[in-house]
Structure 1
Amino acid sequence: MPALAPPALAPATIAEAYLAACRAELAAIKPGNVHVHAAGHRMSVADFEASAALSAPPLTAPGARVGARIEGAVAATRAGVGQNTNLGIVLLCAPLAAAAERPGPLRDGLGCVLAGLDAADAAGLYAAIRLANPGGLGSAARHDVTAEGPPPPFLAAMAEAAVRDRIARAYVSGFEDLFTVGLPALAAARARGLAEPWTTTAVHLAFLTGFPDSHIARKFGAATAERVRAEAASALRGLTLGEGARAALLAHDSALKTAGFNPGTSADLTVATLFLDAVQRLKDGEPAQPANKS
């Protein structure tokens, strides 16, 4: 008897997984980002908790287009929090939420969602980006999202930005970073017996040390972003995660925040990895979060 295809997930289930991913990311020490152990960059944990709650309903609206999910989530966040706290998270999680609604393997559904992005999705995307007004966005020679007139094609604009932005790259690579960096880091941390929130810290460090953070690069330049990555790799890669690592992680966290460096893309990719893992597990009939080993 052939195996049954993974089922479509209910919107309420997807929303619960999204909120859990956002909360788990905030509970972990993530050097340079906001978390329960230290605020930073004029933002607090409460800002991000509110943003998650506000963005969840539009992000997981049943049957909604990706662009509508993005625009609705960013608009709700902006109205309730008053600043851009979650544009990157929303950009990454909206296609995953749409894919989770489809029956069949999640990665196959994600490919279909990305291939089906159209002009209406583009309009929602660019409206959301203009509303969020992310720091260091600047302008582009082609496919400038801040320009007036009809929106450029969704994937063409993402391809244009992919060389300098890991979130744009996700759209044209099938979310490769999540599948080849984030999920393996999460699985390896669990295999080592780590419990939350250390498994989340492991995912964040994989992104922080693996490539220059796009958010830092937009604000300070590519050379600075690479220097921040290299310093994190030197200081933190190979660190044995657990209570014994807390002091080193918090020291690096403080140093990054004092310098004004916010590896926001690494944090966004971390949330998206946790969300992807949860909905993929649910589709496979497993609990969204495996039992902790320690």
Structure 2
Amino acid sequence: MSGTLDPALIGTLYKAACLAELDALKPGNVHAFAAGHRMVVADFVTSAEVSAPPLARQGAGIGERVHGGVAATMAAVGQNTNLGILLLCAPLAAAAERGTGIAALLDTLDRSDAEAVFAAIHLANPGGLGRAERHDVAADAPASLHDAMAEAADRDRIARAYGTGFADVTAIGLPALMEARTRGLDPSWCTTAVHLAYLRSVPDSHIARKRGRAAAEDLRREVEKIVAGLDLTAQPVEPLLALDVSLKARGLNPGTTADFTVATVFWDALASAGATLA
């Protein structure tokens, strides 16, 4: 079938995307330049390795891929390092295997996907989720994962992606990646450019959940000002590491931004290999 990829290749590209994100200087996150938030790079490397097989399992549903990846990760490293990554990358992996556009694929989500995703969230137990009147993740899974994601869309960019066909990736991440390549940046700095594009464009919803929307918007504005004065072609390690230290000292972890950075690199790799995603 045209536009389809072999599951083994999908798994390889997924691991490569995870490792590429770790190699890049991403202020506020764990990366090769600095650990943080009681986590180290090795945790994420192991997570990528063990979550790749379930993420790329042939014929698996989206929810099954997410739950399998989270279960493997928790067994290997004992903490949630990649729930958001898996929630974004599982639909991309399934779409690449089936040769289906991402928006059309998300329309096929069913009760089994909802049950598996809710089970994965329970297992990962991410911080800052709070409570919701409808489709609370602490309750039983709903009949529709679409409805649950729509309910959370105003407070979580990953949930929002399920209803927009990954609009943030196509509108923010991929254009930033293409621009960085056009400017001649090397791969790791291209990934940094993607991270900064998200960070300056939209408030990070992980920070918003844990510290409030005002804190997330304040950080977006702060990064917007800093990035405006940076030339990434000069590889400005010092000012970005200074921002990294500052964010970690304030306990600000733009985790959603990191998740979308992985998803962007993964999408690009799948598309370059011939997958039909749009």
TM-score (structure 1 length as normaliser): 0.91
1:82-161, aligned counterparts within 5 Å? 82-103=78-99, 108-147=100-139, 149-161=140-152
Assess, with a 3 A threshold, how the Cα gap between structure 1 residues 142 and 264 changes in structure 2: closer, same or farther: same
Given that 2:4 and 2:274 are in contact with CA atoms closer than 8 Å, whether structure 1 keeps it comes out as: yes
Deviation for aligned residue 1:145: 1.4
Residue from 59, 71, 77 that aligns with 2:73: 77
Q: Does structure 2 conserve the Cα–Cα contact (< 8 Å) formed by 1:32 and 1:252?
A: yes
RMSD over aligned CA atoms reads: 1.3
Taking the aligned partners of 2:48 and 2:213, their CA distance within structure 1 comes to: 30
CA distance in structure 1 between the partners assigned to 2:167 and 2:141 by the alignment: 29
> Which consecutive unaligned segments of at least 5 residues does structure 2 have?
none
Structure 1 gaps, min length 5: 286-294
d(CA) in 2 for partners of 1:284 and 1:84?
Answer: 29
Instruction: Quote how far apart the aligned CAs of 1:7 are.
Output: 3.0
Q: Say yes or no: does 1:275 pair with 2:250.
A: no
Q: CA deviation at 1:242?
A: 3.7
CA deviations over 1:196-215 (Å, ceiling 9, x no partner): 11000000000001010000
Identical positions, percent: 59
Q: In the aligned structure 2, how far is the partner of 1:153 from the partner of 1:112?
A: 16
Report runs of 4+ in structure 1 exceeding 2 Å deviation: 149-152
Give the aligned partner of residue 33 of structure 1.
29
Alignment correspondent of 1:292: none
Partner SS for 1:146: coil
Report the Cα distance in structure 1 between the residues aligned to 2:141 and 2:203, rounded to whole angstroms: 32
1:181 equivalent in alignment to 2:177 = no
SS of the residue corresponding to residue 101 of structure 1 reads helix
1:264 matches 2:260: no
Paired residues of 1:143 and 1:152 also in contact (CA < 8 A): no
1:65 maps to: 61
Question: Where in structure 2 are the equivalents of 1:145-294 lying within 5 Å?
Answer: 145-147=137-139, 149-283=140-274
> 1:289 aligns to what?
none
Cα distance between partner residues in 2 of 1:150 and 1:132: 15
Contact 1:32 1:261 in 2 (8 A): yes
Provide Cα deviations, 1:122-148, integer angstroms capped at 9, x if missing partner. Answer: 00000000110111011101111111x
Q: Is the contact between residue 96 and residue 275 of structure 2 (CA under 8 Å) also seen in structure 1?
A: no
3-state SS of 1:239 partner? coil
Q: Residue type matched to 1:131 in 2?
A: L
Aligned mates of 1:11, 1:284 — CA distance in 2? 12
Give the number of equivalent residue pairs.
276
